[in-house]
Amino acid sequence: MRIAVTGASGFAGGTVWRLAAAEGWEVHAFGRRPASALGGTPPEGVYRSWDVTGPAPHDLPEVDAVVHCAGGVSDWGPAAEIFKVNVEGTRAVREAFPRSRFVHVSTASVYDPFRPTVMAREHECRARRYVNAYGASKARAEEVLAGTAVVLRPHAVYGPGDTVLLPRVLRAVRGRRLFAVGDGRQRVSLTSGGNLARACLLAASGPVASGVFNVTDAEPVTLDDALRALLRERGIDARPCYLPAAPVAALATAAEAAFRVLRRPDPPTLTRYAASHLAVERTLDITAAREQLGYAPAPTSFAGAANW
């Protein structure tokens, strides 16, 4: 199997690259960073630098499938730049490989951020507005690919190499408390990098050429259980401390407004997206992926998190 993986210098794309190479696939990896910045020993395969917002390399290989992981994952920043990466970049990669099966890694952030997501199925994506350009741009990218790709929607991806979720959780530790929003009893669907990579390979080689699929760990977990397990594995002597959602959301709104007035390029410590992301139930139904892709995910686990 010959595949191209975009975003291979990042967390999700790198995890897909490693799994595909380990299983003997011929991998053509592309990432924004130069090869010299990859660090360590890269997996087997050919790596080339490609910023998907710029021109495609002139001699792209013929591949059976493309796994498109490249994208902007920030919940802060100029909307035009985020849309350029997530929408126009996706369009450019699709056009660069017109004859290849296309697997697009989207996000559960396309679901309505203003209400709980309770075992949502793929057709329930009917959000009218989003709290930031990230969710809106990923929803638009799905529209660009409609009917021409397999779209995967993970939620809260974690694991070795994670530069988003785990650092954000750890930044919320103050002394012996880990501050979170809600009451801790809300259920959440998480997606390990390993489960996401497996879903990508199944989609790249599987029986369907298009469709939308939620992909998460085997079952939802309660937020408090997940946070305590993560703290335990990291060896951090702290316990979760929960804050009510309404005042936290108001504080996040004020912080965002102040940062925009001051034209601060760095994000505030607290954003509306961060405050709402795990504050209420966020669970996804993965029946379609199980039945149509043969997806059989492992349970949520933070084993080895001390080394992430």
Write down the pTM of the prediction.
Answer: 0.95
Confidence of residue 64 (pLDDT cuts 50, 70, 90): very high
Residue type, position 22, single letter:
A
What is the Cα–Cα distance from 161 to 22, expressed in whole angstroms?
17
Tens digit of each residue's pLDDT (9 = 90 or more) over 199-213: 999 999 989 999 999
For the chain, domains (ranges, CATH) are 2-303 (3.40.50.720)
What is the pLDDT, as a whole number, of residue 58?
87
Degrees, nearest 5: CA angle 174-179-182: 175
Mean per-residue pLDDT, 160-182: 92
What is the Cα–Cα distance from 232 to 301, expressed in whole angstroms?
12
Cβ-proximal residues to 68 (8 Å cutoff; 6+ apart), any chain:
6, 7, 90, 93, 94, 102, 103, 104, 105
Query: Does residue 153 register a pLDDT over 80?
Result: yes
What is the pLDDT, as a whole number, of residue 259?
86
Query: Does residue 147 register a pLDDT over 90?
Result: yes
Look at residue 49 and give its three-state secondary structure.
strand
